C-alpha cells in the first residue's frame, strides 16, 4: 500500500521510480552485464578509452572486487586518470592506445577533452590543438604480455577507433576469451566521429557474439530519431 502510494506521488511529480533489480533490459548496462555474467568472483575488466576514469569508477561501484585495466593514450588526460583511480586496489592505468597494429601515431589533441580521437579528430585544423605522439599496441599483444587469459567485460569508447580496437583482439575473440563487449557506435551517416554499427555487428556476430541492446543514446542531429551515437552491448555465451 505504502509503495503504491509513493509511486503515485512520484508519478504526479514526473519522477519514474523502480527498484534497480526491476529495471527492464536496456537501461542500466552494468546491471544487464551482472545478469548475464552472474559473477561469483573477481571480474577481469578492460576500460579502453578511460578518459579520466568515469567508467572505471562506475564498474568498481558495481563490482568492487573487479580487476580493471584502464587505458588512456593522451598524456594530460592519463595523469588525471591516474590521480583519480590509479591508487584504487586492483586498478592499473596504462598510457597507451589500443588499435589493430603496434606502433605510434601523432594526433591533434585538446587536453582533457572526451573527444580526442586517433581516427576522426574534430580539431585537426584548430590552431589551439597540440600535436602529440601516442603509442599503439593491440589487445592481443597486451593480453599476452600481461598474462590475461580471459576478459569478462571489455568496454571501448575511443571516438571512432573502436573497430580497430576490436580488430586488434581477433585471437581473443576467436577463442571466445571475451564475454561482454560494450562499445560506442553510431547509426547516423552524418556522424563521422563515431564507429558505424554495421561493421562492429558483422565482426562480432561472426565471432559468436549476440547483440543484446543499445544504451545511453545521444542526439546531435536535428532529427530526434537519428541517434548520433550510443553504446551497444554484445555477449558471447560460449565464453
| pLDDT tens digits, 34-89 | 999 987 789 999 999 999 999 999 999 999 999 999 999 999 999 999 999 999 99
Task: Tell me the backbone φ, ψ of residue 172, rounded to 5 degrees.
Answer: -65, -45
DSSP state of 226: S
DSSP strand pairing (229-235 vs 178-185): antiparallel
Q: DSSP states of 72-102 as a string?
A: --SHHHHHHHHHHHTTSTTEEEE--EEESS-
Residue that has been written with the C-alpha cell 558483422 in this structure:
202
Predicted pLDDT of residue 17 = 64
Of 229, 211, 209, 210, nearest to 219 by C-alpha is 229
pTM of the model: 0.89
Lowest pLDDT segment from 71-75, 89-93, 105-109: 105-109
DSSP strand pairing (210-218 vs 229-235): antiparallel
- Tell me the domains of the chain and their CATH numbers: 22-235 (3.40.50.150)
Amino acid at each position: 500500500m505504502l509503495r503504491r502510494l509513493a509511486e503515485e506521488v512520484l508519478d504526479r511529480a514526473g519522477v519514474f521510480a523502480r527498484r534497480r533489480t526491476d529495471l527492464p533490459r536496456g537501461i542500466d548496462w552494468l546491471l544487464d552485464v551482472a545478469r548475464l555474467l552472474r559473477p561469483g568472483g573477481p571480474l577481469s575488466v578492460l576500460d579502453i578509452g578511460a578518459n579520466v576514469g568515469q567508467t572505471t569508477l562506475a564498474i568498481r561501484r558495481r563490482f568492487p572486487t573487479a580487476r580493471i585495466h584502464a587505458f588512456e593514450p593522451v598524456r594530460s588526460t592519463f595523469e588525471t586518470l591516474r590521480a583519480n583511480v590509479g591508487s584504487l586496489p586492483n586498478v592499473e592505468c596504462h598510457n597507451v592506445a589500443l588499435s589493430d597494429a603496434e606502433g605510434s601515431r601523432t594526433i591533434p589533441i585538446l587536453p582533457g577533452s572526451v573527444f580526442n580521437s586517433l581516427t576522426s579528430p574534430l580539431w585537426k585544423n584548430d590552431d589551439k590543438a597540440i600535436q602529440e605522439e601516442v603509442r599503439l599496441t593491440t589487445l592481443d599483444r597486451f593480453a599476452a604480455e600481461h598474462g590475461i587469459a580471459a576478459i569478462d567485460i571489455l568496454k571501448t569508447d575511443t571516438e571512432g577507433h573502436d573497430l580497430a580496437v576490436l580488430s586488434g583482439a581477433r585471437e581473443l575473440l576467436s577463442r571466445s576469451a571475451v564475454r561482454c563487449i560494450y562499445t560506442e557506435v553510431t547509426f547516423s551517416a552524418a556522424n563521422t566521429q563515431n564507429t558505424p554499427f554495421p561493421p562492429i555487428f558483422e565482426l562480432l556476430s561472426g565471432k559468436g557474439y549476440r547483440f543484446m541492446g543499445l544504451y545511453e543514446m545521444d542526439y546531435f542531429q536535428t532529427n530526434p530519431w537519428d541517434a548520433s551515437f550510443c553504446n551497444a552491448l554484445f555477449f558471447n555465451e560460449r565464453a
